[in-house]
């Protein structure tokens, strides 16, 4: 079953990290990516640029509205994702708990709707 792992953390707090701390976290993410590739479950995964680079698009009544920023103001912001092919929810949750951001942010684990055909 495919699951998406939505990685959330508070950007303001993240911005206060030192270069050293950031490098350490990136190393751990590289290691995680290596591991899930070796385990044969990795389908996709990327970090995202901060929400101040985001644009939110809505079309209503034929009108296109572009807003500067994320879709809503939230306490934690989406910072990256993985898509993994896991045996079941327990396997997915085990991977989620190994993500560095799980220690100070939140990882939302969501099944991907499989469409046949």
Partner 1 sequence: MVRSSSDEVLKLHSVKILGYLIRLIGNFDDAEDLHQEVMLIAVQNWEEKQLPAEPLAWLFTVARNKATDYLRHKKIGNRVALQLKLEPNHNESLERYLNDDLLRLIFTCCHPALDPEVRVALTLKTVVGLSLEEVARAFLVSDKTMQQRLVRVKRKIRMAGIAYEIPGSKQLLGRLGSVLQTIYLLFNEGYSATGGDELVRKPLCHEAIRLAHLMDELFPGHAELEGILSLMLLQDSRREARLSGSGDLVLLRDQDRSRWDKAQIEAGRVLLEHALHLHQPPGQYQIQAAIAAIHADAASADDTDWQEIVLLYESLLKHNHSPVVRLNYAVALAFSGKLEQAMSQMSLITDRLQQYHPFYIALAELHLMKEQGSKAIEDFEKALLLTRNQQEKAFITLRLQGLRI
Binder of partner 1 out of 6, 25, 83, 93 (CB under 8 A): 93
Among 14-22, 30-38, 69-77, 91-99, which window interacts with partner 1 (CB under 8 A)? 91-99
Burial call 32-62: b when 16+ CB within 10 Å, e when fewer: beeebeeeebbeebeeeeebeeeeeeeeeee
Q: Does 92 bind partner 1 (CB under 8 A)?
A: yes
Among 8-16, 30-38, 74-82, 84-92, which window interacts with partner 1 (CB under 8 A)? 84-92
Residue 96 · residue 89 · CB < 8 Å: no
Size of the site for partner 1 (CB under 8 A): 11
CA neighbor of 91 nearest in space, from 28, 39, 56:
39
Q: Provide, rounded to whole angstroms, the least separation between the CB of residue 65 and partner 1.
A: 32
- Which is it for the CA torsion 78, 81, 92, 99, positive or negative? negative
Q: Does 87 bind partner 1 (CB under 8 A)?
A: yes
User: By C-beta, is 3 or 82 nearer to partner 1?
Assistant: 3
Binder of partner 1 out of 16, 61, 90, 116 (CB under 8 A): 90
Neighbours of 79 (CB within 10 A): 19
Q: Does 56 bind partner 1 (CB under 8 A)?
A: no
Phi–psi pair at 74, nearest 5 degrees: -130, 160
SS3 assignment, position 16:
coil
In the complex, which residues of this chain contact partner 1 (CB under 8 A)? 1, 3, 86-90, 92-94, 111
């Amino acid at each position: 079953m495919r699951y998406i792992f939505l990685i959330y953390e508070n950007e303001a707090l993240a911005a206060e990290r030192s270069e050293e701390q950031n490098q350490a976290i990136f190393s751990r993410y590289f290691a995680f990516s290596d591991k899930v590739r070796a385990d044969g479950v990795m389908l996709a995964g990327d970090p995202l640029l901060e929400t101040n680079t985001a644009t939110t698009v809505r079309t209503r009544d034929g009108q296109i509205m572009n807003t500067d920023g994320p879709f809503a103001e939230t306490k934690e912001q989406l910072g990256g994702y993985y898509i993994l092919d896991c045996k079941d929810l327990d396997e997915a949750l085990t991977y989620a708990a190994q993500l560095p951001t799980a220690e100070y942010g939140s990882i939302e684990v969501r099944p991907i709707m499989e469409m046949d055909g």
